[in-house]
A and B are shown apart, each in its own frame.
Chain A
Amino acid sequence: TQLLEQSPQFLSIQEGENLTVYCNSSSVFSSLQWYRQEPGEGPVLLVTVVTGGEVKKLKRLTFQFGDARKDSSLHITAAQPGDTGLYLCAGARDYKLSFGAGTTVTVRA
């Protein structure tokens, strides 16, 4: 049983469209991290959010941490084929990470 629930599980969109991935939990985390993973590779860290209500922007990616530090969202504006991948959220407690099952994003050219 994973502490974090991600939705949707799969997302397929056309290049130029926007998308949002959600990460929800009933547990409070000291921080939340978002990773992107390519097939056969390890997860690559995109961002860490620490403060409730925090919003971070990374080019076309916007990350938000919920006020209660239990949930988060990732929004991609004007998606590109290079954004294709598995997006994982991970909550940190006691120095270890609990991951969601991931959202597979496919951006069609």
Chain B
Amino acid sequence: DTGVSQDPRHKITKRGQNVTFRCDPISEHNRLYWYRQTLGQGPEFLTYFQNEAQLEKSRLLSDRFSAERPKGSFSTLEIQRTEQGDSAMYLCASSAGLAGGYEQYFGPGTRLTVT
């Protein structure tokens, strides 16, 4: 079990550019979550998947954000036309769900800086 991995760890981009982040959950975890964390705050829920189905999206997830989990394994989070307010740590977590419990295990995060 290698844990949740995220790529890249750091991303610096200019305002208006598109960025994409990848998350690989713990193998056989069927639930995958995305959170955003800004300085001095705890993580805030963005969206979650059960297998390949996106079941809930926070109102924090504007139209510029899109997340996918096409084969129920890894997930991508894309931000289009980035704004300075998008600068944050983007965290991915996974859980086993009904069979294995709802405890969520987090990856190391992707730190996004929009200049």
Q: Which residues in A have some Cβ–Cβ distance to B below 8 Å? A: 2, 4, 30-31, 33, 35, 40-45, 48, 88, 90, 92, 94-102
Contacts and interface: CB of A to CB of B under 8 A. Distances in A.
A42 B107 contact: yes
A102 B106 CA distance: 16
Nearest to A47: B103
Contacts of A41: 108-109
Interface in B85-101: 91, 93, 95, 101
B111 A99 contact: no
A33 B33 CA distance: 16
B42 A42 contact: no
Contacts of A31: 102
Interface of B: 4, 6, 31, 33, 35, 40-45, 48, 56, 91, 93, 95, 101-109, 111
B41 A97 contact: no
Contacts of B104: 33, 45, 97
Contacts, number: 59
Interface of B is mostly: strand
26 contacts: A4-B42, A30-B102, A35-B106, A40-B111, A41-B108, A41-B109, A42-B6, A42-B91, A43-B43, A44-B106, A45-B105, A45-B106, A48-B101, A48-B103, A90-B43, A94-B56, A95-B48, A97-B33, A97-B35, A97-B45, A97-B104, A98-B45, A99-B42, A99-B44, A101-B41, A102-B41
Given A41-B109, A90-B42, A97-B104, 12 more contacts: A33-B103, A42-B93, A42-B108, A42-B109, A43-B43, A45-B103, A45-B106, A48-B103, A92-B102, A96-B48, A96-B56, A101-B42
